[in-house]
């Protein structure tokens, strides 16, 4: 979890980036998993915590294809997912959350860069 928070703290140069990042993550989760998913956060650590919580729910209450579809939609590298080995489910979810947040941030950053 702390890797994700650290990443966000280092890369969120403007507060509007956090808002845009939350909206991007929420859009992808709603489109792929459930339209009722809402992320309500004010800090990077709250976002990381909520993403981890949603990933736990997806893994424990839906099928594997939904989880795979989410990773595909977000465009998380299959190589990065396969590189996560020999860890328990909590560590796995934290690492996947990091990959999701990192990729979603890249999308937001690129979009904002081209708008300016």
* Number of domains composing the chain: 1
Residue 70 has pLDDT above 90, yes or no: yes
* Residues 64/18, Cβ–Cβ less than 8 Å: no
**How many CB atoms sit inside 10 A of residue 27's CB?**
13
pTM, two decimals, is 0.86
17 is in which domain, residue-wise? 2-115
> To which residue do tokens 């893994």 refer?
59
Residue 2 has pLDDT above 90, yes or no: no
Percent with pLDDT over 70 in the chain: 89
d(C-alpha 68, C-alpha 74), whole Å: 10
CA distances to 23, 83, 93 from 27, rounded to whole Å, are 6, 26, 20
Task: Compute the average pLDDT of residues 53-77.
Answer: 92
Helix residue ranges, H only, 1-116 = 2-11, 15-32, 44-61, 64-74, 78-82, 89-115
Q: What is the pLDDT of residues 43-60, one digit of tens each?
A: 888 999 999 999 999 998
């Amino acid at each position: 979890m702390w890797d994700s928070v650290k990443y966000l703290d280092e890369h969120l140069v403007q507060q509007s980036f956090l808002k845009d990042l939350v909206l991007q993550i929420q859009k992808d989760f709603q489109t792929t998993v459930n339209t009722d998913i809402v992320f309500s956060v004010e800090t990077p650590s709250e976002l990381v915590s909520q993403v981890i919580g949603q990933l736990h729910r997806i893994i424990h209450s839906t099928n594997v294809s939904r989880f795979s579809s989410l990773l595909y939609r977000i465009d998380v590298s299959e190589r990065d997912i396969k590189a996560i080995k020999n860890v328990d489910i909590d560590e796995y979810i934290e690492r996947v959350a990091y990959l999701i947040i990192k990729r979603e941030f890249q999308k937001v950053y690129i979009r904002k860069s081209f708008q300016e």
